[in-house]
Structure 1
């Protein structure tokens, strides 16, 4: 017994929880406006295009924000166009059950307006027509009907909305014409009062305006409820956006937001990891953005590039230089290098840059013309001129020396061509 009681209590609690809703579901609706009887009508009879006098009442229940059911009843009368048709007056009553679809929600009207809505409805029911002016002396006509339509909505407040509805009603098994003066049959009986019991359809329209009154304790009805609204107000959303902006701030401009940046003061132009840390891809102590060889380790003295000391190259040049194959030549009695031979000085400079462990002496010479003392000074000026060219190319002076050796006695002083070869500077790799 206790278990049964507990089960009932538990079920009651669960039902209570699940029956609660975040939006109101019920509404009462009333509309007033025009009707139009389309067909059938007795030949010669005309109805108003907009015959005022339709009124309907309904109650609607929404299962969720998009779908619901509605029960309503409408009544009014059709009458003739004065002066153009014989008199008639037909009173009608209809009652219907309809499925309702919130088309505004399906088409996301809320993306551009929170006050406009659109409902679609389709359903069936029954109707009754009675005739005040008729030659048939007929009884009321009962029929079934199918109704469909669209209802525009404008939200006036959380409890009421203005509506405008356009509906088409299709009567089935309608015995009489809408004016009630002939039978709804292709061929009329010879005796006007004899009912042929032929039943055919009829079509009519209503166009109305009205009000929807929303019932319930929630702040919004299903027509206007938006689930996202329960999570954040505009102020809360603005606060969250500002928080996100703060998180995405990049104080040091390295492309990594502050909340992910583990190095808050990255140098300008530095390459960084996904955590904002300055990259040193070859781990040589020189950051990538100033490392001229970012993927090859090397000392800071060579801007992060490896020292390329090739022993064979050093030995080859030492022999070539020391054997006098690399020289800078000068004109007679001049300490200015001849232009065609300055390239030898540039070649030596490039070699020294590629081999930072090598030092070198610049050796100046003169021909045998002139006094010995003069030739010593001239050869020294020639060595100094080439020394200056190499230093200006970026070679540290600690790696260079120069000296004048005077006359070169190894050439034939009687040959002008030989004497030209003597006017030179040579180099010696240390």
Structure 2
């Protein structure tokens, strides 16, 4: 228990010492208004709906712009409803300590107003009630011994900023007294039956009353604003800083070599114009013969650079080699996460298949869409079909007869390591199968 207390003390002190100093933390307040004893009251005794006669003073310390502590001292009197109740008058004093929650800051009221906020308070207190005509243990009048109580207090405060130093405050409070011996009017005991002993014992009977007040908050400190109105985001909101952030984003998204891969992801920032690249902006060499695809006359058949990347020997049934390259997954169109729009660098794969179909009118092709394993399975199935349809549309738009093309979504590609971002990128694709 001692270690827990020490830990909580260190946390509180650290939070107080190292909390932000851009705002003032202390304030004092003065309020006046009405009260209403809800019960218990002696039969036949009534109080007015709004009884003018409550005054309170308080001080508050905010640890940060969201939470703090407050203390309050109040006094006033309850009296009868004129002409409908017997006369009575009960004076009271109250002293409380509460925790404070700035509801307005927590709910970001500043997005629609910077001059109004709401505080919630809950705490405990002590108090006393003294009735001028209160009965004693023998049912005789008067008995001026105060009735001492403890209480649970809750308040809701609306604050409207008049300046950096003053705010207008409206408060509604509910107080539940514990161990109250007498009714609020003092004419009966707050317990079943009357005791037979001379002294009224302290009983654990409760009583409830309300107050409604209007007052002023005065903010103390050398800073420009108080925690009630402090908005942390304001320090980032200058036009110069915003312009700088936007400029940095624009620089990051530049694509200097025009290959469709932004510079911050491009591992080959000087790719030649027209070159086929992968998702990292690196020039592709599909057949691994040292001649990049955009210069290789036979991009899927290895050969020396002297023959434009084609084999030296005579190529027989080239369609079979091209069919194998396509069906083995060397030709793919790739997509960004949760997108059915082909990435710019990979649309050349669709052009390659289009040229193949035009040169080989006797074959047809199926476009096969895939998705990575992130997200719901049924959603990914639909996404994969939209990706396949997008490539189908590209092929039709390029002049290939739609009757030679079919498309289908195959859902998630579970053959890759879904924990790897690079592997997931390779899964987000549309492949081809020559029929």
TM over 0.5: yes
Q: Which residue of 2 aligns with 1:197?
A: 201
> Who is 2:429 aligned against?
none
SS at match of 2:182: coil
Contact 1:24–1:222 (CA under 8 A) maintained in structure 2: yes
The answer to whether the 8 A contact 1:29-1:210 is kept is yes
Asked whether the equivalents of residues 133 and 143 of structure 2 are also in contact (C-alpha less than 8 Å), the reply is no
* CA distance 1:66–1:44, shift in 2 (3 Å): same
Instruction: Tell me, in whole angstroms, the C-alpha distance in 2 between the residues paired with 1:291 and 1:44.
Output: 105
1:24 Cα shift?
A: 1.5
Distance 1:275 1:54, change over 3 A: same
Contact 2:258–2:273 at 8 Å: present in 1 too? no
1:24-423 → structure 2 map (5 Å cutoff): 24-110=24-110, 113-132=113-132, 136-139=141-144, 140-188=146-194, 196-199=200-203, 200-230=205-235, 233-250=238-255, 253-258=258-263, 263=269, 267=273, 270-273=275-278, 276=281, 278-282=283-287, 287-289=292-294, 291=296, 293-298=298-303, 304-309=309-314
* Equivalent-residue separation in structure 1 for 2:112 and 2:258 (angstroms): 37
Rounded to whole Å, the distance in 2 between the matches of 1:290 and 1:79 is 100
The Cα of 1:232 is off from its aligned counterpart by 5.4
Instruction: Give the secondary structure class of the aligned counterpart of 1:46.
Output: coil
Mean CA deviation greater in 49-58 or 247-256: 247-256
Using the alignment, how far apart are the partners of 1:293 and 1:111 within structure 2? 61
Quick one: structure 1 residues 60 and 306, their matched pair in 2 at CA, closer, same or farther if it must change by over 3 Å? same
Q: What secondary structure is seen at the aligned counterpart in 1 of 2:206?
A: strand
Q: SS of the counterpart of 2:229?
A: coil
The structure-2 alpha-carbon separation of the partners of 1:209 and 1:289, relative to structure 1 and needing over 3 Å to count, comes to farther
Out of 180-189 and 227-236, give the one that drifted further.
Answer: 227-236
Q: Secondary structure at the match of 2:179?
A: strand
Per-residue displacement from partner, 1:360-398 (whole Å, max 9, x unpaired)? xxxxxxxxxxxxxxxxxxxxxxxxxxxxxxxxxxxxxxx
Q: Quick check: 2:19–2:64 contact (8 Å CA) kept in 1?
A: no
The equivalent of 2:340 in structure 1 is none
Of stretches 24-33 and 242-251 in structure 1, the one that deviates more from structure 2 is 242-251
Q: 1:111 to 1:304 in 2, by over 3 A?
A: farther
CA–CA distance in 1 between the matches of 2:26 and 2:117?
17
Q: Deviations over 1:212-268 (max 9, x none)?
A: 222112233223334444455354123312332243233664322356666468535
Q: Distance in 2 between matches of 1:295 and 1:30?
A: 85
Q: CA–CA distance in 2 between the matches of 1:76 and 1:101?
A: 27
SS at match of 2:185: coil
Contact kept, 8 Å, 2:30 with 2:58, in 1: the verdict is: yes
| 8 A Cα contact 1:51 1:79, kept in partner | yes
Cα separation, 1, equivalents of 2:252 and 2:128: 69
- Would the alpha carbon gap of residues 280 and 104 (structure 1) be closer, same or farther in structure 2, given more than 3 Å must change? same
Shift of 1:19: 9.2
Question: What TM-score results when the alignment is normalised by the length of structure 2?
Answer: 0.57
Which structure would you say has the larger Rg? 1
Q: TM-score, normalised by structure 1?
A: 0.57
Aligned positions, number:
295
Give the deviation of 1:37 after TM superposition: 0.4
Q: How far apart, CA to CA, are the structure 2 residues paired with 1:106 and 1:216?
A: 23
2:378 matched residue in structure 1: none
How big is the alpha-carbon RMSD for the aligned residues of Structure 1 and Structure 2? 3.8
Q: Is the 8 A contact 1:118 1:153 kept in 2?
A: yes
- Specify the SS of the correspondent of 2:52: strand
Task: Sort the Cα spacing of 1:77 and 1:276 in 2 relative to 1 into closer, same or farther, 3 A.
Answer: same
Question: Corresponding residue for 1:395?
Answer: none
1:301 to partner: Cα distance: 9.4
Change (3 A) 1:299 1:83: farther
Distance 1:287 1:157 in 2: 70
Distance change >3 Å, CA 211–CA 284, structure 1 → 2: farther
Structure 2, unmatched stretches of 5+, are: 1-16, 136-140, 317-359, 361-435
